[in-house]
């Protein structure tokens, strides 16, 4: 099962692709951070993100996409950029016909480290260990996206099958 | 000059198309509200909105798109849905190669009624009068989208030319 995870952000959007099976070790396929300049036009930034994500979906052909659920406790300006980038990611996946699952940061942290309150350094360390990497994935946005993808491999199989069934029923 | 205005919302997204010139009367081309069921999957809702907006852009061929700028004083849950729908609208326009301009609610109200604090009933009444309609456009989301489009016809000409120049320079 191949999953593409997205840690949405307008200025820095983490993307990570892993392959694996529930309960088994995952293999790293790809990671990167899609960046955009805060001084450029919003339309241009969203288009750039959409084009890059669409290209990554075509290149890596994941079976499903996991996106971090935007959280309301952040400040509103950050939330808006994150919500916009998240919408672009969800839409890119939907346009590619892929099921999308959202996870909260604590679900992801709990899945990869056993602790829903783990900090960024702990998540990065666990991702590095779980994917058996020699070097930790940097920056943290990329590690978060990989953690999302691992979380979905381990938790998402059943959900995907349900989502696919609902999709067919429509 | 033909403009498509979008009053973004996930459950109800107003769309209005008008044609006109700065300082002259505008003509109504089309309006509608794209709705989606809050109980359905977010990916499906965003995809549905994207497909309808993309179809409307192809059908009505506006020269530019005006989108209401999401405001931070609303409650965060509403802001997130509005930000997501707004991102879909901005992206649909950008993918169609069209310039996008954002306006705050007060800019739109001031443009159509001379009063940045006008209420929904006043905006609807002014849109009805300005477009010389016999029946007021309903619901308010549609009237707001038409007000955005009128605002852009009257204010946007110069901005569009600047945006087009910047686009060419890239």
Q: Measured between alpha carbons, how far is A83 from A105 in angstroms, rounded to an integer?
A: 14
Tell me the chain A residues in contact with residue B43 when contact means C-beta distances shorter than 8 Å. 90-91, 93-94, 99-100
Backbone angles phi, psi at A102, to 5 degrees: -110, 145
What is the structure's pLDDT at A159?
60
pLDDT > 80? residue A164 = no
Q: Which CATH number fits domain A2-169: 3.30.43.10, 3.40.109.10, 3.30.420.10, 3.50.30.50?
A: 3.30.420.10
Tell me the pairing of strands A27-35 and A12-19. Answer: antiparallel
User: Looking at the annotation, which residues of A are catalytic?
Assistant: 7, 68, 141
Token pair for A49: 């993100």
Considering only CB atoms, B47 lies closest to which of A46, A94, A99, namely A94
Q: Cβ neighbours of residue A50 under 8 Å, at least 6 residues apart?
A: A88, A91, A92, B91, B95
A-B C-beta contacts closer than 8 Å = 85
pLDDT > 90? residue A22 = no
Q: Measured between alpha carbons, how far is B23 from B25 in angstroms, rounded to an integer?
A: 7
ipTM above threshold 0.90: no
**What does the pLDDT look like over B111-132, one tens digit per residue?**
999 999 999 999 999 999 999 9
Per-residue pLDDT band at B78 (split at 50, 70, 90): confident
Per-residue pLDDT band at A74 (split at 50, 70, 90): low
Beta bridge partners of B4: B17, B65
Token pair for B124: 């609807």
| Residue tagged 């892929």 (tokens) | A98
| Angle formed at CA B62 by CA B68 and CA B1, multiple of 5 degrees | 95
Considering only CB atoms, B91 lies closest to which of A47, A80, A170, namely A47
pLDDT > 70? residue B159 = no
Tell me the chain B residues in contact with residue A163 when contact means C-beta distances shorter than 8 Å. 41
Cross-chain residue pair A46–B77, CB shorter than 8 Å: no
Beta carbons of A45 and A36 less than 8 angstroms apart: yes
What is the structure's pLDDT at A156?
66
């Amino acid at each position: 099962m191949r999953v593409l995870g997205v840690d949405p952000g307008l200025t820095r959007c983490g993307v990570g692709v892993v392959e694996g099976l529930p309960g088994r070790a995952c293999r790293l396929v790809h990671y990167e951070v899609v960046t955009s300049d805060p001084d450029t036009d919003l339309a241009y930034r969203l288009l750039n993100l959409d084009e890059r994500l669409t290209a990554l979906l075509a290149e890596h052909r994941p079976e499903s996409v996991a996106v971090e659920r935007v959280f309301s406790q952040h400040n509103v300006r950050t939330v808006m950029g994150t919500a916009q980038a998240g919408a672009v990611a969800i839409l890119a996946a939907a346009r590619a016909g892929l099921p999308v699952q959202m996870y909260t940061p604590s679900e992801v942290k709990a899945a990869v480290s056993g602790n829903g309150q783990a900090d960024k350094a702990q998540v990065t360390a666990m991702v590095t260990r779980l994917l058996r990497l020699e070097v930790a994935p940097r920056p943290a946005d990329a590690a978060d996206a990989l953690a999302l993808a691992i979380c979905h491999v381990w938790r998402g199989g059943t959900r995907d099958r349900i989502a696919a069934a609902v999709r067919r029923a429509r």
